[in-house]
Amino acid sequence: MGSFFGPIDPAVDAGHVDAPPRMGFFTDTSVCIGCKACEVACKEWNLIPDDGFNLLGQSYDNTGGLTANSWRAVAFVEQPGVDALAMAGAPQARPDFRWLMMSNVCKHCTHAGCLDVCPTGSLFRTEFGTVVVQEDICNGCGYCVPACPYGVIDRREEDGRAWKCTLCYDRIGDGLTPACAQACPTESIQYGELGELRERAARRVATLHEHGVEEARLYGHSEDDGVGGDGAFFLLLDEPEVYGLPPDPVVTTKDLPDMWKKAGLAALTMAASVVVAFLGRRP
């Protein structure tokens, strides 16, 4: 099956269409060591230009977030006064601080607002359920930028075109693992079939809870959220806002069908009023 547009086709998800399973990322932040190997591998494989080598003064984070030139961004969140070893279940606690590290990436939403608003078809849904930008078709309109509830998509100053993670579409099409997951030394970034990843993530959360890490939670895994579930979801050790993630993301084009219906009804009402007024003036 070739590429298709719009939200994930239920027939494909149900197995009624001969298509590859939906693929995705599960990022377990509890084992992220902040090495940035994922950032380097992503840039190297996708030939992404540097983003300035900035010194931001935010712990060891010199990326600052996802941009057109940073498709993976490792966040370093320092929390002073947190008993780091106790939070990890260690018998001897040491009141100090802890780092919360997370490698952020495009979520490859089930209901993708960026895909809905793209006027050229540059953004498309692949046979793996991921969302990819075809840079040779992008006209730089920028509609996709505000349409993303996660603030992922960005345009390069040099050419104005939109860029973001492709989940290494070229690699997974050849049966390879995405570059970031391949380079991750702790398997914090895991790639595979989305259904299997969700089951694995649920088991991981249960294990952490058994070891006293009650704050462990999943983010973006539920199909009942505002984007229909993410193709790249996370295990977090604190509230989403701490990591710079929206607590309740909603696809920005959610109300478009109702808006078009109401606009159509309004247009029909106006047309009917004009007709009635015109006929009423006839002798």
Domain that holds residue 141: 10-251
Percent of the chain with pLDDT over 90: 66
Identity of residue 229: G
SS3 content of the chain, % helix, strand, coil (to 5): 30, 20, 50
For residues 162 and 258, membership in a common domain is answered with: no
Q: Is 264 one of the annotated binding-site residues?
A: no
Kindly indicate the confidence band of residue 282, based on its pLDDT and cuts at 50, 70 and 90.
Answer: low
Q: Which of 130, 161, 149, 123 is nearest to 253 (CA)?
A: 149
For residues 144 and 272, membership in a common domain is answered with: no
Q: Is 230 one of the annotated binding-site residues?
A: no
Model confidence over 105-131: pLDDT tens digits?
999 999 999 999 999 999 999 999 999
For residues 193 and 263, membership in a common domain is answered with: no
Q: Is 122 one of the annotated binding-site residues?
A: no
> What was the pLDDT predicted at 194?
97
Model confidence over 6-39: pLDDT tens digits?
445 544 444 445 678 999 999 999 999 999 999 9
User: Considering only 151-165, 184-198, 268-282, which range has the smallest mean pLDDT?
Assistant: 268-282
Model confidence over 43-96: pLDDT tens digits?
999 999 988 777 787 778 888 899 999 999 999 998 887 665 555 555 555 557
d(CA 204, CA 28): 9
Q: Is 61 one of the annotated binding-site residues?
A: no
Q: Is 175 one of the annotated binding-site residues?
A: no
Q: Is residue 39 part of a domain?
A: yes
> What was the pLDDT predicted at 61?
85
For residues 165 and 272, membership in a common domain is answered with: no
Q: Is 241 one of the annotated binding-site residues?
A: no
- Domain of 59, CATH number, reads 3.30.70.20
Tally of structural domains, the chain: 2
Bigger pLDDT: 208 vs 13: 208
Identity of residue 193: E
Q: Which of 159, 129, 156, 155 is nearest to 142 (CA)?
A: 155
> What was the pLDDT predicted at 27?
98
As given in the structure block, the two tokens for residue 144 are 């996709």
As given in the structure block, the two tokens for residue 158 are 């040099």
For residues 243 and 257, membership in a common domain is answered with: no
Asked if the model's pLDDT at residue 3 lies above 50, the reply is no
Q: Is 118 one of the annotated binding-site residues?
A: yes
Asked if the model's pLDDT at residue 163 lies above 80, the reply is yes
For residues 86 and 188, membership in a common domain is answered with: yes
Q: Is 166 one of the annotated binding-site residues?
A: no
For residues 205 and 260, membership in a common domain is answered with: no
Q: Is 109 one of the annotated binding-site residues?
A: yes
> What was the pLDDT predicted at 99?
86
Q: Is 42 one of the annotated binding-site residues?
A: yes
> What was the pLDDT predicted at 265?
57
For residues 136 and 231, membership in a common domain is answered with: yes
Kindly indicate the confidence band of residue 199, based on its pLDDT and cuts at 50, 70 and 90.
Answer: very high
Q: Is 144 one of the annotated binding-site residues?
A: yes
Q: Is 192 one of the annotated binding-site residues?
A: no
User: Considering only 6-20, 143-157, 237-251, which range has the smallest mean pLDDT?
Assistant: 6-20
For residues 191 and 174, membership in a common domain is answered with: yes
For residues 133 and 122, membership in a common domain is answered with: yes
